[in-house]
Structure 1
Amino acid sequence: MKQKLIEPRLTEYLHRKASRTKTPISGTFELSPLCNMDCKMCYIKMSKEKQESIARLRTKEEWIELAQKAKEKGMLFLLLTGGEPFLVKDFKELYIELHKMGFCISINSNGTMIDEDVIEWLKHYPPMRINMTLYGASDETYERLCNNPKGFTQVTKALSLLKENNIQVKLNCSVTPYNKDDLKEIISFAEEHDLIVQATSYMFPPLRKDETKIGQNDRFTVEDAALYEAYISAYSNGFDRFKEYIESGQLVLYDADDDCGVVEGDHMRCRAGITSFWMTWEGKMLPCGMIPDGGLDPWEVGFDEAWENAKKIVSEITLPVKCAGCGKKDECRACAAMVYTETGTYDKVPQYRCEMTKNYPEACKKVLKELEQQL
C-alpha cells in the first residue's frame, strides 16, 4: 500500500511543458452538486431544490461542446466529478463520448452506485483511474457521517467489481470526528487490497456551498486535526518508518499538493490557472474548485476568454506576507484556497492551518509514545 500517488514522469513532464505557454492541459468538469449521500463536511453538496434555485444543470451536449473547445486548446487530462457523477442523467453517454474523444479520464466517486450494470460499460471504456472516497470501515460509520446505512457494503462491492475488471482505483479518506475511530481499519483495508490511500484530517471550509462559512466546517478542533494527521502518518508508514520520520525533524503536513507553497510576493504556485482549470456545475471556469468565485461562463463568453480570466485570477493572488517570514511555512504548505476559505481574503494568515502546523510535531511525539507503549 502507498500513502500517496506518485505521478508518472510523462504526466509531470507534460504539465511542466504546458506551464511555459500556460496551456490548459488539465480540466475538471464538476457535473452536478447533487449526491446520493449527505456527508457532514462536504463543500458542495446541496438539495435539488437549492440547485434549481441557483442554476440549471448543463446538458450532455453542452459538456461535449466545452470538451471539444478545451481539446482544441490542449486539454488532455480530464477529471469528472460532482456531487456524485454516476447520479448525473446521461452520465454513461457523456462519459463514453468523452472517452472516444481521446482524453485521459479520471472519475471522482463515492463508489455506492458502481454496480454490475455500470461495470458492464465501464470495462469497455476504462478510465485512467477512479478516485473513490472511503468514509469508514462499517455501514454504521457511513450512516453516522454520510447518512447512508449501506454505504460500506456498496463501496466494498464496487471495489471488488473494479478490481476484477482491472480498473485502477485510488482511495481518498477524509478523517473527521465522525469516522476517526475507523482510521486504522481504513488504512489496513487499503493495504489488504493493495490500494493507494491518501488521507487527510484537514477539511476546507465549504464556501462554495455557503459563503457565510468562512473558517468553519463540521471538522476537528485544531489540536485533534494535528493529532489525526499524526495517526495517518503512523498507520500508513508503520512504527519504524514513523519513528524515523519523527527523528528526521522534517514533519510536513503532506496533504497539500507538493507544488503548493507560501512565499513572500509569490503568486499561487500550484497548477491552477497555469495548466489546469475547474468548471463548476453552474457554469464558472475557476482556476481551482475551492476558490468560490470570479469565474466566467465559457458557454457565454467563449473558452478563450474564460481561460484568460482564470489565469488573471491567479496572477492577482499574492499570499500573506506574514507567512513568508514564518519558519514553518515549508511544513504548513498552506495553499491559496486554504488561505481564502479560512479567512475570506488572500491577505490574512489561515489561523486554523497555522495552528494545526504548530501542533503537529507534539502530536507526532504523542502518537509515537502511544505506539511504543503498545509494543
Structure 2
Amino acid sequence: MFTIQPVNSFEKFLCNKAFSSETPICGTFELLPICNMDCKMCYIRMSPNEMYQQGTPLSVDDWLRIGKEAATSGCMFLLLTGGEPLLYPDFLKLYEGLRYLGIIITLNTNGTLIDKQIAETFKHNQPRRVNISLYGASDNTYKALCGNPKGFTQVMNGIHLLLDVGIQVKINFTPTPQNYHDLEKVIEITENLNIPISTPTYMFPPERKPRKISSDSINRLSPQQAAKEQLKVIRMAHPHVSDYIHYIKDTLENIKETEEEEVAPPGGLLCTAGVSSFWINWKGDISPCGIIQKPARSLQEYSFGEAWKAIKAETKKIFTSKKCFNCRFRKICKACGASSFAENHDFSLPATYHCELNEAYEELLKKELKELEQQKSTNQ
C-alpha cells in the first residue's frame, strides 16, 4: 500500500488560528516562469524571451525584503516554486537567506536539476519538504510528455541524492493522456522508496500561458477518464476489500440525492486564498492564488502589509458559483473558485469539468459497490 502524507496536527492548529485571524501564515514565492522542460499540460511555462517581454524577475535582495516583510506580518511557511525554481540565479543564496529569517521552506521542483551541492545545502539547512513532480516511470514517458528523453533518469537521481542525506520527499503525479498508463509503476516506486505520493486527477487549464490555448486543446484526461483514474488510486490505497467497501459507502453517503435549496455563498474563494495564504509571482505581484492572479498589488509599489490588507478586502468581494455552493457533490468535489475562473473566466459559473467528473465518479462507485457486494454474497 502506498503511503499517505501525514497531517502535522500542530501546523494544522496554527493554520486554523491564522485563518480565523486572517493572518498570512502561508505563502508561495514563484521565482521564475521558465523551466528546463516543456510539459504539455503546464499552466505557466514561458520561454526566456516570453518572460522578458512581460517583465524582469525579482532579484535576491527583492525577495529577501519581501520575505522579511511577510514574516513580520505573520508568515511562517513558504513554498518556493516556478516554473523550475532551481533555475533561479543564486537559488541557494535566496534559500539560505529565507531560512535565516526563520521561515519554514518547502520546495516544488521537477527534480531533474538536483545535484550534490543542493543536497548538501539541504542536509545542513533542511527544508520542511521537497515536493517532486514525477511525470512518469520511464524516459520514454518523459520524452512524450515533457520533451526530455532523460527526464526520468535525472529525477530519480535527484530523489536518491535527497533521500541519502535525510531530506523529506513527497511525489506529485497527475495523470495525463501521455502518462496515465504509468500510474501503478509510479506508485510502486514510491512504495519501494517509502515516500508519500499525491495523485490529483484534475488539471487546470493553462490559464497563464502567453499563447492562449482553446479548451478543446487542453492536455488532460476527459472527466470520465479522470474519474476512472481517481477510483484506481483509491482502490490501490485500500488493499483490504472491507476497507475499500467502507470507503465507497462513506463517499456515496456524502453525495446528496438532490441539490439543496439555493443559498447565496459568502464572499471569498471558500478556501484559505486571500484569507491566510497568498501567492507572489516572479514580477513581485501578490494575489490570493497562483491560478487567478487577481486581485493583485505590486510589491515594488506597496509594502507587504499594505498589499495584504488590500488583497484581503478585495478577495471578500469575490462571490463563487451559487450552483457549486449548493451542489449535491459539494462534500466530495475538488472544485474551487480558481477552477471556476480558470474554466470559465467567471467566478459565478460552475467548473463543468468537475461536474462531469463527479457524476462519472458516482456511477463508478455505485457499479463497484454492486459488484463487490455480489462477489461477497457469492463467496458466502
Answer whether TM exceeds 0.5 for this pair.
yes
Counterpart in 2 of 1:73?
73
Structure 2: distance between partners of 1:367 and 1:360: 10
Alpha-carbon offset, residue 211 of structure 1: 7.9
Counterpart in 2 of 1:317?
318
Counterpart in 2 of 1:221?
222
Q: Partner amino acid for 1:293? A: K
C-alpha offsets along residues 4-42 of structure 1, whole Å, 9 cap, x if unaligned? 423311111111222232111111100000111111111
Change (3 A) 1:168 1:116: same
Q: What is the CA RMSD across the aligned residues, in angstroms? A: 2.3
Structure 1: distance between partners of 2:226 and 2:37: 24
Counterpart in 2 of 1:301?
302
Counterpart in 2 of 1:256?
none
Structure 2: distance between partners of 1:103 and 1:206: 30
Q: Do the aligned residues in 2 keep the contact of 1:22 with 1:274 (CA within 8 Å)? A: yes
Change (3 A) 1:21 1:296: same
Q: Do the aligned residues in 2 keep the contact of 1:25 with 1:76 (CA within 8 Å)? A: yes
Change (3 A) 1:18 1:53: same
* SS across alignment from 2:68: helix
Counterpart in 1 of 2:108?
108
1:242 paired to 2:233 = no
Change (3 A) 1:4 1:175: same
Q: Do the aligned residues in 1 keep the contact of 2:228 with 2:361 (CA within 8 Å)? A: yes
Change (3 A) 1:251 1:98: farther
Q: Partner amino acid for 2:305? A: D
Change (3 A) 1:366 1:43: farther
Q: Do the aligned residues in 2 keep the contact of 1:28 with 1:79 (CA within 8 Å)? A: yes
C-alpha offsets along residues 321-353 of structure 1, whole Å, 9 cap, x if unaligned? 122332122121421111111111111121111
Per the normalisation by structure 2, the TM-score is: 0.90
Alpha-carbon offset, residue 156 of structure 1: 1.2
Counterpart in 2 of 1:347?
348
Q: Do the aligned residues in 1 keep the contact of 2:226 with 2:357 (CA within 8 Å)? A: yes
Structure 2: distance between partners of 1:108 and 1:29: 10
Alpha-carbon offset, residue 165 of structure 1: 0.7
Q: Partner amino acid for 1:242? A: Y
Q: Do the aligned residues in 1 keep the contact of 2:35 with 2:87 (CA within 8 Å)? A: yes
1:272 paired to 2:273 = yes
45-54 or 94-103: bigger deviation: 94-103
* SS across alignment from 1:130: strand
Counterpart in 2 of 1:25?
25
C-alpha offsets along residues 191-248 of structure 1, whole Å, 9 cap, x if unaligned? 1111110001210012122584475621111211111111121223335233332244
Structure 2: distance between partners of 1:333 and 1:282: 29
Structure 1: distance between partners of 2:254 and 2:173: 18
Alpha-carbon offset, residue 144 of structure 1: 0.8
212-221 or 298-307: bigger deviation: 212-221
* SS across alignment from 2:65: helix
User: Whose radius of gyration is greater, 1 or 2?
Assistant: 2
114-123 or 186-195: bigger deviation: 114-123
Alpha-carbon offset, residue 313 of structure 1: 3.1
Taking the TM superposition and a 5 Å limit, the aligned residue runs for 1:49-60 are 49-60=49-60
Q: Do the aligned residues in 2 keep the contact of 1:38 with 1:147 (CA within 8 Å)? A: yes
Counterpart in 2 of 1:62?
62
C-alpha offsets along residues 264-286 of structure 1, whole Å, 9 cap, x if unaligned? 32232211111111001122101
Alpha-carbon offset, residue 364 of structure 1: 4.0
Counterpart in 2 of 1:44?
44
C-alpha offsets along residues 59-100 of structure 1, whole Å, 9 cap, x if unaligned? 111001111111111111111111111111110111111111
Counterpart in 2 of 1:118?
118
Per the normalisation by structure 1, the TM-score is: 0.91
Q: Do the aligned residues in 1 keep the contact of 2:57 with 2:282 (CA within 8 Å)? A: yes
Structure 1: distance between partners of 2:81 and 2:295: 20
135-144 or 299-308: bigger deviation: 299-308
**Alignment: residue pair count:** 364
Counterpart in 2 of 1:84?
84
Counterpart in 2 of 1:193?
193
Structure 2: distance between partners of 1:81 and 1:321: 32
Taking the TM superposition and a 5 Å limit, the aligned residue runs for 1:121-140 are 121-140=121-140
* SS across alignment from 1:299: coil
* SS across alignment from 1:312: helix
Q: Which segments of 5 or more consecutive residues in structure 1 lack a partner in the other structure?
A: 254-261
Q: Which segments of 5 or more consecutive residues in structure 2 lack a partner in the other structure?
A: 256-261, 376-380
Q: Do the aligned residues in 2 keep the contact of 1:3 with 1:198 (CA within 8 Å)? A: no
Counterpart in 2 of 1:162?
162
Structure 2: distance between partners of 1:272 and 1:75: 14
Structure 2: distance between partners of 1:366 and 1:51: 48
Structure 2: distance between partners of 1:60 and 1:111: 22
